[in-house]
């Protein structure tokens, strides 16, 4: 019997445990998101968009970041759970005076009621307090700190709620921001944090806008029902295997929340500056779109029944990437911004003292050659899966040829690699392989559109690249492809060589690379990206997506039983809501890095599909 991890049961966390892990749920609607702790407190939220300034950031500084909590007087939290197949989070309270549920959600629904269609969602968060029995008493702790808490935030009562504003002069501009909190509770009591008796259901609606349609109880109920229906319709259209369905569905719902509604870009993660190792400096802003990460979702999105999400991202990518004379970046802003200037917020203490807190990301300037293969592979996948007009094909072919020109000029040169090493450039094997992928897919695209002469002209170079990588990237003594030319260090990215078609899964060199990686990079089921020192010393945490890569690689070399054991071990390390950060601590298994991480959830779905396919094959053979 296989272990089944279900996240639909009620979860309860003691307050003393909060600091031990990311005991967090996420609300989202494709515009922005909120992280909610196990006691119903908002601890991270940016308004109006994912990459805007924070409104609540107590996750990064408990004193200065701001938060939004609701506590029961003479009562306690008895559990917290997502409504099944939705992103509606319910926190239960019970005490001497009664019981109530705190139902948190971000409205998301379509005007025509059809799931999956493009919709225009607003930057709203709804908190509905549903009385279950008695007359429970509550206190609201509403402490917004706008624009990363860089200036003073003033909160004032309006009669129907509260308005929070910040207005100050920065070195380069005048800053003004505001948010609104609409409520049918006494706004002075909310402002002062004094007791409120719940004699009936109540609501709090936080919005970036001074709403034209002022919320009331009927409207809040309608928003809840439409949002619930919207998520249930979307989930019903999601094709997932029976085995591991619950875990894969939660991951799919996370990916949907992390796709930026206005453009289709997919965020790497919802947060900034959650550390890879507590107390160290590996703290980065992940509220941007890495083409590498997002592009790997395309095949999975098609396989689980959401081709519109894939098309939406690809269309954004094609508008964003340069045509002829511009260099391709590894990452862009959610609206296609090219400049993502990195700076630190010195006034924030950081998550559990892990400084610095960064906004922006200097990695956008890095030269990482693997990005060429990522982009052309996505274009090729898209051409196989949908018809394009002649005019669209013209534009696509121009971009492909431009990328190939860059590949031919760059593939023999060193770069920063997939892990964005900030020190000396190296001849990373994975970067070379993805340059090969770029040319391989470009040739396939040329053959699809009858550019056969071009394809023939470049096949010799494709063979030359393959031969060079196999000669210089393979270490015979180690019995594996290594991290970079001339070294003996292993790298988990080489587990993807068969996935990208560089080697067949049964090629002895790939099989040996997987086996050596399992021996040297895997510790108790968790994977290092690499073990050699980088700019910040030796890595101290497991990179979650690499652990999933190992599962998929083991499936591909027919070691399915081991793959399944590792996968179910990884499922047991999800947080109580089935969410994953970027990293896991080898000893404590606590989550680290930015959260939740799209790449981790994508890889979980991919592994679930692969293992389910193997299960089907075993049943057929039986």
Q: What average pLDDT score do residues 24-42 get?
A: 97
* Helix (H/G/I), strand (E/B), else coil: 327: coil
Q: How many residues does the chain have?
A: 622
pLDDT at position 24 over 90: yes
Q: What average pLDDT score do residues 410-439 get?
A: 92
pLDDT band at 185; cut points 50, 70, 90: very high
pLDDT at position 619 over 80: no
Q: What average pLDDT score do residues 148-165 get?
A: 96
CA distances from 425 to 407, 411, 535 (A): 17, 13, 12
**Per-residue model confidence (pLDDT) at position 477:** 96
pLDDT band at 18; cut points 50, 70, 90: confident
- The beta-strand segments (E) located in 380-466 are none
Q: What is the mean pLDDT of the chain?
A: 92
Label residues 174-196 b or e (16+ Cβ within 10 Å = b).
eeebbbbbbbbbebebbbeeeeb
Residue 260 domain-assigned (yes or no): no
**Which range among 368-372, 589-593, 612-616 shows the weakest confidence by mean pLDDT?**
612-616
**Per-residue model confidence (pLDDT) at position 323:** 72
CA 195, distance to chain mean position in Å, is 38
**Per-residue model confidence (pLDDT) at position 7:** 40
Return phi, psi of residue 309, to 5°: -65, -40
Please name which of 375, 465, 370, 474 lies closest in space to residue 420, comparing C-alpha atoms: 370
Residue 88 domain-assigned (yes or no): yes
Token pair for 59: 């996750």
SS3 letters across 177-210: EEEEEEECCCHHHHHHCCCEECCCCEEEEEECCC
pLDDT at position 62 over 70: yes
- C-beta separation of 66 from 145 below 8 A: yes
Give the range of the structural domain holding residue 38, as residue numbers without chain letter: 21-236
Residue 290 domain-assigned (yes or no): no
pLDDT at position 8 over 50: no
Q: What average pLDDT score do residues 500-527 get?
A: 97
pLDDT band at 119; cut points 50, 70, 90: low
Please name which of 501, 605, 488, 500 lies closest in space to residue 551, comparing C-alpha atoms: 605
Residue 90 burial (10 A CB sphere; 0-12, 13-18, 19+): buried
Residue 128 domain-assigned (yes or no): yes
CA distances from 202 to 186, 219, 599 (A): 10, 12, 38
95 versus 171: the higher-pLDDT residue is 95
pLDDT band at 559; cut points 50, 70, 90: very high
pLDDT in tens, 255-283: 999 999 999 999 999 999 999 999 988 89
In angstroms, the CA 222 to CA 208 distance is 20
On the question of a cis peptide bond just before residue 509, with omega within 30 degrees of 0, the verdict is: no
SS3 letters across 511-550: HHHHHHHHHHCEECCEECCCCCCECCECCCEEEHHHHHHH
Enter the pTM of the model.
Answer: 0.94
Residue 89 domain-assigned (yes or no): yes
**Per-residue model confidence (pLDDT) at position 16:** 75
pLDDT band at 622; cut points 50, 70, 90: very low
pLDDT at position 226 over 90: yes
How many domains does the chain fold into?
1
Share of the chain above pLDDT 70, in %: 94
Residue found under tokens 């004032």:
156
CA distances from 605 to 150, 194, 253 (A): 39, 45, 11
Share of the chain above pLDDT 90, in %: 84
Residue 318 domain-assigned (yes or no): no
In angstroms, the CA 117 to CA 537 distance is 47
pLDDT in tens, 291-343: 987 667 788 999 999 999 999 999 999 999 877 766 889 999 999 999 999 99
In angstroms, the CA 557 to CA 570 distance is 20
Q: What average pLDDT score do residues 59-64 get?
A: 97
pLDDT at position 9 over 60: no
Residue 129 domain-assigned (yes or no): yes
- C-beta separation of 232 from 85 below 8 A: yes
Provide the β-strand partners of residue 71. 139
Provide the β-strand partners of residue 26. 35
Q: What average pLDDT score do residues 520-538 get?
A: 88
**Per-residue model confidence (pLDDT) at position 1:** 27
**Per-residue model confidence (pLDDT) at position 121:** 86
């Amino acid at each position: 019997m296989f272990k089944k991890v279900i996240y639909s049961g009620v979860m309860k966390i003691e307050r003393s445990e909060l600091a031990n892990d990311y005991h967090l749920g996420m609300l989202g609607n494709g515009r922005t998101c909120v992280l909610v702790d196990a006691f119903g407190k908002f601890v991270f939220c940016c308004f109006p968009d994912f990459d805007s300034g924070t409104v609540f950031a107590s996750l990064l500084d408990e004193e200065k970041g701001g938060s939004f909590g609701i506590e029961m007087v003479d009562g306690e939290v008895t559990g917290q759970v997502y409504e099944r197949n939705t992103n509606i989070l319910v926190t239960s309270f019970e005490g001497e005076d009664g019981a109530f549920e705190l139902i948190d959600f971000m409205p998301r629904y379509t005007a025509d009621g059809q799931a999956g269609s493009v919709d225009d969602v607003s930057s709203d968060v709804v908190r509905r307090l549903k009385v279950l029995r008695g007359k429970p008493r509550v206190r609201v702790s509403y402490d917004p700190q706008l624009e990363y808490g860089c200036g003073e935030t003033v909160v004032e009562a309006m009669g129907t709620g509260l308005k929070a504003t910040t207005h100050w002069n920065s070195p380069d501009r005048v800053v003004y921001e505001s948010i609104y909190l609409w409520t049918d509770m006494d706004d002075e009591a909310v402002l002062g944090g004094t007791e409120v008796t719940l004699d009936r259901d109540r609501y709090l609606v936080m919005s970036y806008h001074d709403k034209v349609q002022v919320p009331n109880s009927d409207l809040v109920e309608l928003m809840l029902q439409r949002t619930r229906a919207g998520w249930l319709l979307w989930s019903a259209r999601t094709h997932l295997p029976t085995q591991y369905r619950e875990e894969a569905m939660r991951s799919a719902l996370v990916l949907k929340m992390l796709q930026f509604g206005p453009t289709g870009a997919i965020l790497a993660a919802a947060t900034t500056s959650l550390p890879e190792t507590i107390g160290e400096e590996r703290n980065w802003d992940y509220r941007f779109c890495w083409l590498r990460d997002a592009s790997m979702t395309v095949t999975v999105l098609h396989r689980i029944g959401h081709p519109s999400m894939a098309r939406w991202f690809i269309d954004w990518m094609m508008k964003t990437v340069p045509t002829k004379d511009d260099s391709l970046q590894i990452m862009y802003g959610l609206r296609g911004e090219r400049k993502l200037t990195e700076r630190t917020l010195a006034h924030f203490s950081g998550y559990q003292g892990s400084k610095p807190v960064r906004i922006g990301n200097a990695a956008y300037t890095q030269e990482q050659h693997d990005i060429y293969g990522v982009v052309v592979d996505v274009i090729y996948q898209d051409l196989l899966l949908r018809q394009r007009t002649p005019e669209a094909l013209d534009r696509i072919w121009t971009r492909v040829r431009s990328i190939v020109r860059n590949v031919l000029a760059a593939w023999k040169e060193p770069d920063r690699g997939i892990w964005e090493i900030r020190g000396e450039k190296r001849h990373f094997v994975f970067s070379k392989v993805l340059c090969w992928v770029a040319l391989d897919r470009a040739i396939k695209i040329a053959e699809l559109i009858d550019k056969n002469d071009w394809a023939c002209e470049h096949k010799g170079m494709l063979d030359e690249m393959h031969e060079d990588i196999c000669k210089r990237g393979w270490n015979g003594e180690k019995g594996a492809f290594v991290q970079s030319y001339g070294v003996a260090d292993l790298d988990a990215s080489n587990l993807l060589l068969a996935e990208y078609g560089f080697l067949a899964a049964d090629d002895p060199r790939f099989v040996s690379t997987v086996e050596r990686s399992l021996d040297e990079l895997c510790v108790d089921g968790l994977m290092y990206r690499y073990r050699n020192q980088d700019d910040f010393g030796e890595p101290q945490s497991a990179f979650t997506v690499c652990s999933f890569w190992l599962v998929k690689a083991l499936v591909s070399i027919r070691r399915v039983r081991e793959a399944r054991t590792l996968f179910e071990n990884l499922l047991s390390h999800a947080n109580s809501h089935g969410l994953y950060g970027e990293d896991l601590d080898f000893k404590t298994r606590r989550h680290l890095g930015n959260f939740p991480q799209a790449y981790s959830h994508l890889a979980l779905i991919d592994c679930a599909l692969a293992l389910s396919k193997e299960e089907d094959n075993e049943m057929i053979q039986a």
